[in-house]
Chains A and B, each alone.
Chain A
Amino acid sequence: AQKVTQTQTSISVVEKTTVTMDCVYETRDSSYFLFWYKQTASGEIVFLIRQDSYKKENATVGHYSLNFQKPKSSIGLIITATQIEDSAVYFCAMRTHSNYQLIWGSGTKLIIKP
C-alpha cells in the first residue's frame, strides 16, 4: 500500500524562527518523487519543493529545505526565517513510477505569530 502521513495537525511559531514539519511515506516502489505544497487562505495550492528518491542531497529552494531520511521513509520540510505570510496549510505528497496519482498527506496548518 502507498500512504503519506502527516501527524502534526497544527504548529504555531513566532516569526523569524525555524520550523520543521514532519512527513512519513510508505511505498514498495524503488523510484518515487516527494513533494511539498502550500495551500494559502485563498485556497490556492502552490508547489514549494521536491525530492527525487534517487538523489542523496537534500533539496533546497529559497528558505525551504528538506530533510530526506530514506531509511526512515521520512521527508521533513524545514522553513527558516519564517514570515507571517508563511502561515498556511502545508501538504506532503508522493508519486511513484507505478502510480500516476499523487498521494497526499492530511496537511499541517502552520501559524506564524508576530
Chain B
Amino acid sequence: EAGVTQSPRYAVLQEGQAVSFWCDPISGHDTLYWYQQPRDQGPQLLVYFRDEAVIDNSQLPSDRFSAVRPKGTNSTLKIQSAKQGDTATYLCASRLGQSQNTLYFGAGTRLSVL
C-alpha cells in the first residue's frame, strides 16, 4: 500500500512569491490534514478536510494561505505572497474515518523563504 505522497520535497522562495504544495493521501482515507512544522517544534494544524469539505480552517492564515481538496482525494495547499515567517516544513497526513484511527504522514515539503 502506498503511503502519503507529497511534492515538492523542497522549495526556496523570495518574499512575496507564491508556492503550492501537493498531497496524495493513502487510498481510501477520507480525512486529510495539513500541518505546519517550524524548526525544532511539533506540527501545528493548519486545516482539516473530510472528503472534499473543509472541517476546520480556523488556524489557516486566510489572507495568504488557501487549501482545497476538490474531489475528496488529492489536496493542494497554496501560499500567496510568502513571508520569511512561513519558513517551515509543511506536512500532509491522512487517516481513515473514525477518530481512533492512526494518522499517517507524508515526507513533507521543506520551505525556505528568503
Contacts and interface: CB of A to CB of B under 8 A. Distances in A.
Interface string B38-50: 0001110100100
A33 B105 contact: no
Interface in B99-114: 99-100, 102-108, 110
A52 B100 contact: yes
B89 interface: yes
A50 B102 contact: yes
17 contacts: A33-B99, A35-B103, A37-B105, A43-B89, A43-B110, A44-B108, A45-B105, A45-B108, A52-B100, A95-B99, A96-B99, A97-B100, A101-B45, A102-B43, A102-B45, A105-B42, A106-B41
Interface string B74-114: 00000000000000010101000001101111111010000
Main secondary structure of the interface of A (DSSP, over half): strand
A53 B84 CA distance: 41
Interface residues of B, number: 20
Interface of B: 41-43, 45, 48, 55-56, 89, 91, 93, 99-100, 102-108, 110
B107 A104 contact: no
Contacts, number: 50
Interface in A84-104: 91, 95-97, 100-102, 104
Given A100-B55, A101-B45, A104-B42, A47 B104 contact: yes
A73 B86 CA distance: 35
A30 interface: no
